[in-house]
Amino acid sequence: MFGEHPGTPSGSRPDPARVLEEIKRLAVELLGAVPNGLYAPVEQQLHESSLRAGSGRHIEMQALLKLRQQSATYVMRFRQQIAQGFDDFRSLRIRSRGDLPLSLVAENQLAFHLAGQQLADAIESRYATPLQAMSLRLDKLAESLQMQASSNPIGAGRLAGAFIETYRDAQLPHDLQPLMFRAYEQELARVLGELYSRVNGLLGSAGYGVGVAQGPRPVPENVVVTRRDQEHDLVPVRERPRVEDPAVAAEIAQLRRQLHAWREQAPPHSDEQTQGTMPRRELRMEEIVSVASLLQPESPDVFVRALSGEGGKLSEAIRIRLRDGARRLGHSPEQTRLSAEHDDAIDLVGLLFESLFQSYALLDHARRLYGRLVMPYVKVAMKDQGLFVKREHPARRLLDAITEACEGNCAATAQDRELIERCAAVSQRIVADYNEDLAVFEMAHAELEALLQQHRLRVELQESRAAKATFGRERLNEARTQADSVLGYMFHEPITPEVGAFLSQPWRHHLVQTLLRDGSGSTRHNETLALGDALLDADRLARSGRDGRKLADRLIALEAAIVSCLASSGLDEDSARQGLAELVRALAYPDTQRGPQPLPVSNDEDAAGDDAAVWLAGGTDTIEHDPEVAARMRRLLPGEWLRLLDPAGQALAVKVAWISPLTGRFLLVNRRGLRVLVASAAELSALAQSGRLQVGAERAPTDEAMRHLRDKLAKAA
């Protein structure tokens, strides 16, 4: 990193403060994304636990959803804790017992701190050798800074303390705490090996650690070591794009095996067709990266056409461009070829971008934005295929943020247009600035994430409005159903048409309003029902023609209630009294023609809109469905993501935003918080059986796209 060998005299060492800052930058870069990787495995464990127990983990799920909604805050807080460790190292704020914060804690927090202590012990045990070496080197670094030896800023205790401080006020349920710690330990295992190896190598190359007796140590895969290096220390001469975590390496190997099986069934690509009989050498990594860098700022039109389906496969378009770029740099395609690793990277990038457009509602104006990113992502994949398996990879997180901003975004509002414009600016910056340093992706993601936080707040407000509007319509429909039930009972006998018209229109409207405002069984509700019964009695009395005085007294007694009922329908006092006069006139003649009255027909545009959104005839639980699938649908929780195909076959990412306490129907919204579907469990079951609904979609767009990609490859394998 700095060019000095460990044997270099201390006087010619690089500035120790700069060495410490470089370690700090490296630690924040590798550890900063750890909190984002906690939620998916915890959610999976909660889901499996609820299936085994036969009951939902609603409290834990709700708490986890709240953590996810505030994930950016926790990431920033965690990064600050990591950075603070280095500030403490320099300012000598030494903490006892390996950096775990010591203070009086509430009883409900005691288990949290004990779990942190156990985590620190586990890290110390697992990484004892590199931690011991690092501690000795940091002591020498502190001596160079004319400081007393301090605690390791990325030691076991410090990492456990950073987690505790980050989630101190998160109000985690008791059963959720151990799951979060376990996920944190697993996420740390993904990066600590690489981090400790690189920090030790960096300190060694800067001249710290001379004479440290450690015995033989395993050589990290991404470091080339000379014999002299082995006698003294590890010097990172040249990093190679390998993954150190065995689990990640195994996942990449499995992905490549599936890719090879899929490729055997596909037509040969152009590079294979032009191979001929002459042997060709493989392009070296630096050569292919130079070619990609040459092409990076050029027009992405060929990739845009491929993403639109008009220009063939995207991977083939990438190979054609790379072959043309190689020719321009003097590498003849007749004498050179891509290595197997490079070929795999190209196919995976092509399939990933195509999968994003197949899995999400990305509109036409987004294609150029994504097309511009193709070549930078090819460069990333060439050097680090962890892009395809590491959820916390900076380039992958940026792709998630861009997709979240662009999906279903037709730029209808000023805020949506700002998102699109910011994504376009971010893509242009990646093209201009990316030169094998992933920090460019991190900075671009941080910038876009800040804007997305504001967007998510608007989405939450939009979801709340959609839920309230849906609940309001359901209450209205329920009130109308109750009113029509009462009318059906009233209309079982012949009545005067004017009485029937009054009951089916102003009186029904008044009854619905009292149900909505005052509720069933309220005083106003009972008074409205009594008015309807009194009018029926009056009609029966008029039909008998025996006692006109009694009928007149009855109508006079009902006058105020009838006028009030008519007024609630929007009539002024004069019109209401005119309506009353017409009703009295009709009842004045015993021989008025009477007969059965038709029930009113609802003209509910909102309900019709719901039926159109549901895309199912009837929209009720009477449709054919699998009861077991419907039971699975009833276990859906707010915040869960699904994939839905609309009638045109367009894939949509939808979220369960709300479950009606009245009907049990599910409100599904898109990433903009707009209502997509309101349906019952039976209707969702029917959609799932027809292949138009997929439960358990990934929250992160790239995760879902990779799952779609793996499914495609697995079918071939």
Residue 67: its H or E element: helix 58-69
Read off the tokens for 581.
């006069």
pLDDT band at 586 (very low <50, low <70, confident <90, very high): confident
How many structural domains comprise the chain?
4
Predicted confidence at residue 12, as pLDDT, reads 56
The answer to whether residues 16 and 141 touch, using CB atoms and an 8 Å cutoff, is yes
Q: What are phi and psi of 695, to 5 degrees?
A: -90, 150
Weakest-pLDDT range from 58-62, 111-115, 196-200, 352-356: 111-115
Would you say residue 631 lies in a domain? yes
Predicted confidence at residue 93, as pLDDT, reads 44
Weakest-pLDDT range from 9-18, 118-127, 313-322, 439-448: 9-18
Would you say residue 483 lies in a domain? no
Query: Same structural domain for residues 184 and 134?
Result: yes
Q: What are phi and psi of 453, to 5 degrees?
A: -60, -45
Place of tokens 């009395």: 541
Which sign, positive or negative, has the C-alpha torsion 212, 216, 217, 223? positive
pLDDT band at 268 (very low <50, low <70, confident <90, very high): low
Average pLDDT, the chain: 80
Query: Same structural domain for residues 342 and 197?
Result: no
Which range marks the domain in which residue 538 is found?
492-587
What is the mean pLDDT of the segment spanning 331-357?
A: 91
Would you say residue 180 lies in a domain? yes
Residue 652: its H or E element: strand 651-659
Phi-psi map region of 309: left, alpha, beta (phi>0 left; psi -120 to 50 alpha): left
Measured CA to CA in angstroms, residue 555 lies from 490, 508, 536 at distances of 19, 19, 11
Would you say residue 240 lies in a domain? no
Structure confidence by residue, pLDDT tens digits, 4-56 = 444 444 445 678 888 888 899 889 888 988 988 888 888 888 877 777 666 66
What is the mean pLDDT of the segment spanning 233-242?
A: 37
CA 363 to chain centre: 19
Query: Same structural domain for residues 17 and 121?
Result: yes
CA dihedral 311, 315, 319, 324 (to 10 degrees): 40
Query: Same structural domain for residues 269 and 222?
Result: no
Weakest-pLDDT range from 20-24, 81-85, 426-430, 591-595: 591-595
What is the mean pLDDT of the segment spanning 557-577?
A: 81
**Residue 82 corresponds to which amino acid?**
I
Structure confidence by residue, pLDDT tens digits, 505-523 = 889 999 999 999 998 889 9
Query: Same structural domain for residues 215 and 289?
Result: no
DSSP 105: -
Query: Same structural domain for residues 168 and 203?
Result: yes
* Strand segments (E) across 336-421: 336-337
Predicted confidence at residue 346, as pLDDT, reads 95
What is the mean pLDDT of the segment spanning 138-153?
A: 83
Query: Same structural domain for residues 258 and 399?
Result: yes
Query: Same structural domain for residues 115 and 36?
Result: yes
Domain containing residue 678: CATH number: 2.30.30.140
Query: Same structural domain for residues 506 and 654?
Result: no
413: pLDDT strictly greater than 80: yes
Predicted confidence at residue 239, as pLDDT, reads 38
Would you say residue 593 lies in a domain? no
DSSP 511-573: HHHHHHHT-TTSHHHHHHHHHHHHHHHHHHHHHHTS-HHHHHHHHHHHHHHHHHHHHTTT--H
CB atoms within 10 A of CB 692: 17
The more confident residue out of 231 and 1 is 1
Percent of the chain with pLDDT over 70: 83
Read off the tokens for 383.
């050097």
Query: Same structural domain for residues 550 and 632?
Result: no
Query: Same structural domain for residues 555 and 609?
Result: no
Q: Which long-range contacts (CB under 8 A, 24 or more apart) does 89-96 make?
A: 89/20, 89/138, 89/142, 89/150, 89/151, 89/153, 90/20, 90/145, 90/147, 92/147, 92/148, 92/150, 94/148, 94/150, 94/151, 95/151, 95/157, 95/161
Would you say residue 714 lies in a domain? no
C-alpha to C-alpha distance for 612 and 604, rounded to whole angstroms: 13
Residues in the chain: 717
Q: What is the pTM of this model?
A: 0.57
Would you say residue 422 lies in a domain? yes
C-alpha to C-alpha distance for 707 and 713, rounded to whole angstroms: 10
Domain ends where: 404, 438, 460? 460
Helix (H, G, I), strand (E, B), or coil: what is residue 667?
Answer: strand
List the one residue out of 30, 323, 366, 56 whose CA is nearest residue 198. Answer: 30
Please name the residue ranges forming H helices in 224-277.
227-232, 246-265, 270-273
227: pLDDT strictly greater than 80: no
pLDDT band at 398 (very low <50, low <70, confident <90, very high): very high
Domain ends where: 232, 261, 293? 232
What is the mean pLDDT of the segment spanning 280-301?
A: 90
Predicted confidence at residue 229, as pLDDT, reads 37
Predicted confidence at residue 233, as pLDDT, reads 37
Predicted confidence at residue 55, as pLDDT, reads 62
Query: Same structural domain for residues 31 and 138?
Result: yes
Domain ends where: 437, 460, 483? 460
Would you say residue 136 lies in a domain? yes
CB atoms within 10 A of CB 538: 22
Weakest-pLDDT range from 378-382, 450-454, 582-586, 687-691: 582-586
